[in-house]
Structure 1
Amino acid sequence: MKIAIAGGAGFIGRHLTNALTARGHHVYILTRKPAETEQKNTSYVLWQKNGARPETELTDIDVWINLAGKSLFGRWNEKTKAEIATSRLRSVQESARIIQSLQKKPNTLIQASAVGIYGTSLEQTFTEVSPVSDEDFLSRTTALWEKAAEPIETLGIRTVWMRFGMVLGKDGGALPKMALPYQLFAGGRIGSGQQWVPWIHIEDAVGMILSAIDQPRVSGPVNVTAPNPVQMETFGQTVAKVEKRPHWLPVPEFVIKGVLGEMSMLVLKGQRVLPKKALQHGYHFLYPELEDALHNLLT
């Protein structure tokens, strides 16, 4: 198959590209700057730049994957939040423009989303049928992100919204930053420790995307999380166990808020999210348990 990926140079995109090309698919990575060297089964297509006409190079695409958007990590202020929202909406709008212009449309759209769309809770459990929230910046932005893809779905293209949880990997995402204090013998409870962490190993995140591509019956929202979420206290204790380091130095909420500002909600609040649709469609998790995932990534 021929597969276009916006955001293919990012953390998830890199791993996904490797998996797709290993299967023999040809991947077209939409980028703002040309690559210095091209890899086997990979082409780089300029987009979202003055003069770029990616539609002329994407004439026979089977699957369109949009993972593009400014990283959520870092201190949020009004400027940063505007960039986070705008980058996501623009990538979907440009994807829609290109797809609408193509004579042969892709048969599937895989659109990135986030479990933040459900809002936060210590008590509730969320699945794909749970209502979306508008309680905070992230839930509102994610809802707009999904809605922006509706014009593509109305073309008759099967659309899957991959609602990512916290994706754990060695070379990106939150895990290296979360493990560092333990490696320095300074790890401990973050905030109350009761907030839920909807984690998933990067290999399973990629595996769920591949599964969504392969199964034509899958559409709509899909929670990209492991089947066994844990609370932050357990997450920290498990990191400590795997790293053979103490779990002893608590970090109060006011410290996290002072460092991260409004972005602290990603650390201090959470949601217990289950991948009900993936399980219903028979996805087999490589790393259903946190300790096994961390052993793979940290040792």
Structure 2
Amino acid sequence: MSTASTFIAAAGGAIRKETVAVTGATGLVGTRLVSKLTAQGHTVRVLTRNPGAAAGKLPYPRVEVYGPERWEEAVKGSTAVINLAGEPISTRWTPAVKQEIKQSRIAVTRQVVEAINSAPEDQRPRVLISTSAVGYYGASESQTFSEASGSGRDYLAEVCKDWEAEAQRSKAERNVVLRTGIVLAKEGGALGKMMPVFNIFAGGPLGSGRQWCSWIHRDDLVNLYIEAMQSESFSGVYNATAPNPVRMSELCSSLGSVLGRPSWLPVPDFALQALLGEGASIVLEGQRVLPERALEQGFKYRFNNVNAAVENIIGA
């Protein structure tokens, strides 16, 4: 057990105070995660390729920023590592972009795992929680996927398989992989891109609207990362999605209803393909994914229903 873990007195018992190394800390999920971790009294060591920018985006107490040459130093003595890093995928996929999407995930994960494995055993992080995506399963309009399902064969599935394989080399006591769905938040992700279009009365389903959206509210995802970090029973792969996936048309209808705007103008396949090329597959195709293992562990979702999630986000 790492010596960096201490305990602080709190109502109801002792709470472990962690030192958490985090990659991808300035992203959509990372910023909220760092804010919550520091609010709970944990120390966060931000592993970043741009220390100056990271320090400006994360003005919280107990945040320490480390450039790439110091990642090994930061990981040593941390109690946990949360790996969120990766280039955005919602862009036009040129061959160079596809290579960067894959290598950004694998290279950062490899560097993190090597830092964990090289740490002396008494200073090695207790747990590595690494991100993956529901793209692991490939796309389907009819199949339902759980953590026991096999992988797909398309580009994103291959990226996820290689990404997870790199994380599984970790010698931490516990290795956890969260296969993340569509993260709902106002500041970015699917809702962040759709809201401006709906606000000018031009919103509607993307493509057929029949594709599945396995979504999760950002706050539930942050809580799942923290629970996976703190609960010794978490180990292996978990689907980080809400229990009730919806079709794209239902997500768009919910957004329109909350904004008081119609959801009437579909964006045709060819328009998205012209804009994003092969990358259009991430919005034109989907998969129905259920978080069976998180539910079995007793994880409590605040937002099971997409309407409630969208209402909370738009009103926040």
1:42 maps onto 2:58 in alignment: no
Q: SS of 1:207's equivalent?
A: helix
Query: Could you tell me how far 1:156 is from its partner in structure 2?
Result: 4.9
Hey, what does 1:115 align to over in structure 2?
134
Paired residues of 2:76 and 2:116 also in contact (CA < 8 A): no
Aligned match for 1:194, one of 210, 218, 227: 210
- Measured in 2, the distance between the counterparts of 1:33 and 1:164 equals 25
**How many pairs align?**
292
Hey, what does 1:157 align to over in structure 2?
173
Aligned match for 1:286, one of 298, 302, 307: 302
Overall identity of the aligned pairs, in % = 39
Hey, what does 1:132 align to over in structure 2?
151
Q: SS of 2:136's equivalent?
A: helix
Q: SS of 2:303's equivalent?
A: coil
- Measured in 2, the distance between the counterparts of 1:17 and 1:122 equals 35
Hey, what does 1:209 align to over in structure 2?
225
Cα 1:137–1:33 change in 2 (3 A) is same
Unaligned runs of 5+ in 1: none
- Measured in 2, the distance between the counterparts of 1:137 and 1:252 equals 23
1:166 maps onto 2:197 in alignment: no
- Measured in 1, the distance between the counterparts of 2:66 and 2:172 equals 25
Aligned match for 2:84, one of 67, 75, 83: 67
Aligned match for 2:256, one of 218, 240, 246: 240
What do you get for the CA RMSD once the two structures are aligned?
Answer: 1.2
1:227 maps onto 2:243 in alignment: yes
1:142 maps onto 2:160 in alignment: yes
Q: What amino acid is aligned across from residue 244 of structure 1 in structure 2?
A: G
Query: Could you tell me how far 1:157 is from its partner in structure 2?
Result: 2.6
Give the structure-1-normalised TM-score: 0.95
- Measured in 2, the distance between the counterparts of 1:197 and 1:148 equals 27
**C-alpha deviations, 1:147-203, integer Å up to 9, x for none?**
011221xx2531110100000111122211122211110112221111000111100
- Measured in 2, the distance between the counterparts of 1:29 and 1:264 equals 32
Q: SS of 2:130's equivalent?
A: strand
Query: Could you tell me how far 1:33 is from its partner in structure 2?
Result: 2.0
Paired residues of 2:75 and 2:116 also in contact (CA < 8 A): no
Cα 1:200–1:207 change in 2 (3 A) is same
Query: Could you tell me how far 1:39 is from its partner in structure 2?
Result: 2.9
Unaligned runs of 5+ in 2: 1-17
Aligned match for 2:72, one of 45, 52, 55: 55
112-121 vs 247-256, which moves further? 247-256
Give the structure-2-normalised TM-score: 0.90
**C-alpha deviations, 1:88-131, integer Å up to 9, x for none?**
01001101221122112111000000000000100011111111
Paired residues of 2:147 and 2:239 also in contact (CA < 8 A): yes
36-45 vs 14-23, which moves further? 36-45
